[in-house]
Amino acid sequence: MFVGDLRASGAMEWPLRILLIAGGLVLATPGGGILPLGNLEMELLALVFLAPTLALAFWSTRRRATP
């Protein structure tokens, strides 16, 4: 959402998709229980995955869209 069509990012399409899925799964995983991380730590770990991935996706789709 707000990134655009990932097909416009060329060869980076599938690595970006995989990183977005991994970040989403980390964000959806509750802290505690099996994992020794709390909720805040899990959210920060998801941010580590998602922030650069979203920035790269936004940049690569915008770069290819401009003539």
Q: Where are the domains of the chain?
A: 27-61
- Give the pLDDT of residue 43: 92
CB distance 65 to 28 below 8 Å: no
In angstroms, the CA 5 to CA 57 distance is 9
Mean pLDDT of 12-25: 88
In angstroms, the CA 59 to CA 43 distance is 23
- Give the pLDDT of residue 32: 82
Q: Which residues contact 50 (CB under 8 A, 6 or more apart)?
A: 19, 20, 23, 24, 27
- Give the pLDDT of residue 48: 92
pTM, two decimals, is 0.75
Over the stretch 20-56, which tens digit does the pLDDT of each residue have? 889 999 888 888 877 788 989 999 999 998 999 888 8
Higher pLDDT, 4 or 30: 30
